[in-house]
Amino acid sequence: MPDNDKILKTLCKRLNHIAIAVPDVRAAAAVYKDAMGAETSEPTPVPNHGVTTVFVSMPGASIELLEPLGENSPIEKFLQKNPRGGIHHLCYEVDDIHAAREILRSKGIAPIGEISDGAHGTPVMFLHPRDFAGVLIELEQTHE
């Protein structure tokens, strides 16, 4: 049994990225690159999450651009409501995602779905906006 109070103090270590859903990641990345001088990754399909991602790096900030991929993309509905795009989720880093899940459950906060592999190939889980001031939260385990 982990020491819940000790883990709780360090549950969220830092903001990992802000995710923005857009209709076209290439167009959105071009603006960040050409107008802001940010570094941008190549578009990368992440089929198990139904998105294509581009990561944008600036000093002190990392932005994940998301475009729907395939049928029933989880961001499709969001884009119907926000056709030009918009902030989709915030991602916080945790040391141990399973411990984080147990602690959050003990506080009455249930994750959406299961822990899965995220865009960085590390385990992630999502928390419902109703529990976090109207914002979808992703937790990402940043080391094993």
Q: What SS3 class is residue 70?
A: coil
Spatial separation of the C-alpha atoms in residues 132 and 112, rounded to whole Å: 13
- Residue 43 one-letter amino acid: P
Contact by Cβ (8 Å): 7, 96: yes
Binding part of the chain for Co ion, among 4-12, 25-33, 91-99, 106-114 by CB under 5 A, reads 91-99
Residue 91 Cβ vs Co ion, minimum distance, rounded to whole Å: 4
Among 21, 138, 139, 141, which residue sits at the site for Co ion (rule: CB under 5 A)? 138
Query: How large is the C-alpha radius of gyration of the chain?
Result: 16
Is 25 a binder of Co ion (CB under 5 A)? no
Residue 46 Cβ vs Co ion, minimum distance, rounded to whole Å: 10
Contact by Cβ (8 Å): 91, 82: no
Is 91 a binder of Co ion (CB under 5 A)? yes
Point out which residues bind Co ion (CB under 5 A): 19, 64, 91, 138
* Positions marked active-site: 138
